[in-house]
């Protein structure tokens, strides 16, 4: 008889962390889909943008303790990486708010469907385009700065791929 392979134990992921992870993943997916304007078309693009407003509020509420804790610590000695992360997150928040708000203001499909008249003009359209472009860049930087957390939670949620293990138990790649 051969001995059964030991069960792979994953560290448990707290419920709050799982919620953070899935809300963040949904927002990232929605933003990528929303940025694919030619794929989604105007109406879907606008409704995803409208849905992002409450999703961003949920994200901010879930991470509010980090915002408060980090903002308080900025006054004292604080690692440069955290200062950069805080600044990027603040700029990202501003860019996303401007993007979503200006998108709602210039809406030609979603908002008129509920009786709101769009604001026409190059300023609002330009603001929306600039804020969207800036958001894409800042979102990439935000993901890069938070990659360790993303990878750590992903490993704990999904486990490591057993096919990547060599015969000696070390990583094959």
For 56-104, the pLDDT digits (tens) are 899 889 888 888 888 888 877 778 888 888 899 999 989 999 999 999 9
> What's the gap between Cα 3 and its chain centre?
44
Q: Cβ neighbours of residue 159 under 8 Å, at least 6 residues apart? A: 8, 10
Report which listed range, 65-79, 108-122, 125-139, 157-171, is most confident: 125-139
Q: 37 near 45, Cβ under 8 Å?
A: yes
pLDDT attached to residue 73: 82
User: What is the per-residue DSSP string for 97-130?
Assistant: HHHHHHHHHT-SSHHHHTTPPPPPSHHHHHHHHH
Q: What would the mean pLDDT of 23-48 be, rounded to a whole number?
A: 89
Place 144 in a pLDDT band, splitting at 50, 70 and 90.
very high
pLDDT tops 50 at residue 171: no
Domain layout of the chain by residue ranges: 15-158
pLDDT attached to residue 11: 65
Q: What is the rounded average pLDDT for all residues in the chain?
A: 83
Place 10 in a pLDDT band, splitting at 50, 70 and 90.
low
What pTM does this model have? 0.76
Calpha distance 172→143 (Å, rounded): 27
């Amino acid at each position: 008889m051969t001995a059964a392979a030991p069960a792979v134990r994953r560290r448990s992921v707290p419920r709050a962390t799982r919620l953070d992870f899935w809300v963040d993943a949904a927002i990232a997916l929605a933003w990528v889909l929303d940025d694919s304007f030619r794929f989604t078309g105007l109406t879907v693009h606008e409704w995803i943008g409208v849905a992002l407003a409450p999703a961003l509020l949920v994200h901010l509420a879930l991470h509010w303790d980090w915002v408060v804790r980090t903002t308080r610590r900025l006054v004292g000695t604080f690692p440069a990486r955290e200062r950069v992360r805080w600044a990027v997150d603040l700029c990202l928040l501003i860019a996303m708010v401007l993007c979503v708000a200006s998108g709602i203001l210039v809406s030609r499909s979603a908002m008129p469907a509920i009786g709101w008249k769009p604001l026409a003009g190059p300023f609002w359209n330009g603001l929306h385009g600039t804020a969207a472009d800036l958001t894409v860049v800042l979102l990439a930087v935000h993901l890069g700065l938070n990659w360790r957390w993303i990878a750590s939670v992903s490993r704990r949620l999904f486990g490591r791929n057993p096919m990547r293990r060599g015969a000696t138990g070390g990583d094959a790649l």
